[in-house]
Structure 1
Amino acid sequence: MSKVTLDGTNYNDWMCNIKMTLRYEGKEYVLEKQIVEIDEANVTPKQTDSYKKHYDDVTKFDCIMVATMIPKLKRLYVDYWPYNMNLDHVEKIHKRAHQEKYEVVKTLMTCKLKEGDYVCNHVQRMQRYVEHLERINVNFDEELAIDLDLNSLLPCYDQFILHYHLNNIKTILTQLHNLLQIVELGLKKNQTPNSTNASILTIGKNKGKERKGATKKNWKSVAHVGSSNNAPKAKSSSNITSISDPK
């Protein structure tokens, strides 16, 4: 059996090792039953024997438990019985877990997708927070996790969120993450002008230039027609003058 030294952060591993030792010796009760002092003058011999056996067992395993701690913890628990020692550890762990839970929940609630970040990295980060809460025995409903994921998205995902709720889509977190990646790809394509949009812009520009050219060309045509009409008039005028002169 490997020896695990309690350093304040590995209580579960340390206690698992202690319990295996107690089970092997058949002394698991020392963690569950508190030893109570007795007055030997007012108890039966059987009660005295039971007390002495209990005292010997807790003394033995008290030494084992304290011996597998770092020096700082040894000085703290040297006068504790196993039952009280374990109870104190559990209370501290619960207090630490409560503070840890608060910090993780606070971070999870304020976690938002930022401009330029990949939605895949964002949802994986939020998933790690959820898994962290589960490790410290916090029951976290998957539907609540999905709602938090959706609430953390940018406004450009509002249409997808509306569609998701209106159609009462039922997914697990993994499926939601896949859907969000597909939506992300669609949003990126819409942000970049595609060939269709580019061609529309080109056609629009060409149409504008074509109108200007047509107007200029028609103006020249009109001018040319006007000059040709004037020429015959000038010519007929000269002919009339020559005929009317008898000299």
Structure 2
Amino acid sequence: MAANNTSTLSLRSILEKDKLNGTNFLDWFRGLRIVLKQERKLYVLDNPIPEQPAANAPRAERDAYSKHSNDSVDVGCFMLATMSPDLQKDLEHLEAFEMVNHLKEMFQQQARQERFDTTKALHSCKMAEGAPVSPHVLKMKGHIDHLERLGFPISQELATDLILNSLPESYSQFVMNFNMNNMEKSVSELHLMLKTAEHNIKKMPGQVLMVHKGKGMKTKGRSNKAYKKKPYTQNKPKNHNKPKPPKEGVCHFCNEPGHWKRNCKLYLEDLKKKKSSETTTSGSEKK
């Protein structure tokens, strides 16, 4: 029995150290439920005190009412004791069930904003090239776990996709193999696989296959310089030597070199004489 009392006091001390102050309702409420579950009084937060039974009601009914009333007083006092003084003044007139509902309405907007901020932080996580993978995955896992505590759990498949999508280009081969093999891993299992992949990437940084859209995979281990495209140059036609005009040879009329027959002065003069003589002859014949 003494051990149970010690355990109860130990659990209550957790809430007494981290009192409700208006910014930590979700954590405080989760701790409160843990303590009351251990003390078998959690039902007080989920059910209002029933109406007081009549004096002639069955004893079991009167005992149940008495126990619920007493437990509600104990839980209400414990809740007030773990709140800031300002909240105590506002809620001390309420019993435990009413107090919890009032707090939920009061901090509903806070919970919504916290969910939005956590979701935004999760989706904006991007791992820088060369950064260690373990802190990055643990940071994302923290956001995922926090959303679950807020009452909005993320499925294992979506959590895996978010982490894979946040990895840099050096992990593209790992991501491709993971998806092609239809792997189903928890975040913790994926974390271990990524640590192994990180070791291999650091060991052989040039051996990572780079996947490009619609172009398959590049060759392993080559420098990016090898893939730089050379500027396009149109093939110029080869300069063929144009046939040179033949040099002037020996005239076939005067047998002198340096000109052709058609350019020979003697030949042209002789040609004129022949035409003149032919003209004279044809004129005399007509007479």
1:130 offset after TM fit, Å? 1.9
Question: Which of the numbers 23, 27, 32 marks the counterpart of 2:47?
Answer: 32
When residues 132 and 56 of structure 1 are mapped into structure 2, their CA distance, relative to the original with a 3 A threshold, is: closer
Matched residue type, 2:122: L
Q: Is 1:30–1:82's contact at 8 Å kept on the other side of the alignment? A: yes
When residues 82 and 147 of structure 1 are mapped into structure 2, their CA distance, relative to the original with a 3 A threshold, is: same
Q: Is 1:7–1:73's contact at 8 Å kept on the other side of the alignment? A: no
Q: In structure 2, what is the equivalent of residue 103 of structure 1?
A: 117
Measure, in 1, the Cα distance between the counterparts of 2:49 and 2:127: 52
Question: Which of the numbers 159, 170, 179 marks the counterpart of 1:156?
Answer: 170
Q: Is 1:34–1:84's contact at 8 Å kept on the other side of the alignment? A: no
Percentage of identical aligned residues: 25
Matched residue type, 1:71: P
1:20 offset after TM fit, Å? 6.0
Q: In structure 2, what is the equivalent of residue 180 of structure 1?
A: 194
Measure, in 2, the Cα distance between the counterparts of 1:86 and 1:147: 37
Measure, in 1, the Cα distance between the counterparts of 2:198 and 2:72: 64
Give structure 1 stretches of 5+ with no counterpart: 198-247
Of the structure 1 ranges 7-16 and 57-66, higher mean CA displacement relative to structure 2 is found in 57-66
Aligned residues: 184
Q: In structure 1, what is the equivalent of residue 94 of structure 2?
A: 80
Measure, in 2, the Cα distance between the counterparts of 1:141 and 1:124: 17
Q: Is 2:118–2:143's contact at 8 Å kept on the other side of the alignment? A: yes
Q: Secondary structure at the match of 1:134?
A: helix
Question: Which of the numbers 136, 149, 161 marks the counterpart of 1:147?
Answer: 161
* RMSD, matched Cα: 4.0
Q: Is 1:134–1:140's contact at 8 Å kept on the other side of the alignment? A: yes
Q: In structure 2, what is the equivalent of residue 133 of structure 1?
A: 147
Measure, in 2, the Cα distance between the counterparts of 1:34 and 1:132: 33
Question: Which of the numbers 12, 15, 19 marks the counterpart of 1:7?
Answer: 19
1:84 offset after TM fit, Å? 0.8
Residue deviations 1:159-185 (CA, integer Å, cap 9, x gap): 332232233234333443333334334
Q: Is 1:142–1:173's contact at 8 Å kept on the other side of the alignment? A: yes
Q: Is 1:142–1:172's contact at 8 Å kept on the other side of the alignment? A: yes
Structure showing greater relative contact order (alpha-carbon pairs closer than 8 Å, 6 or more residues apart): 1
1:80 offset after TM fit, Å? 1.6
Residue deviations 1:172-209 (CA, integer Å, cap 9, x gap): 334433333343344442349xxx99xxxxxxxxxxxx
Measure, in 2, the Cα distance between the counterparts of 1:94 and 1:173: 29
Residue deviations 1:96-134 (CA, integer Å, cap 9, x gap): 433322222211111001123112322222222222223
Larger of the two Rg values belongs to structure: 2
1:76 offset after TM fit, Å? 1.1
TM-score for both structures, normalised by structure 1 = 0.56
Q: How does 1:29-68 map to 2 (within 5 A)?
A: 32-34=47-49, 57=70, 60-61=73-74, 62-63=76-77, 65-68=79-82
TM-score for both structures, normalised by structure 2 = 0.49
Matched residue type, 1:81: E
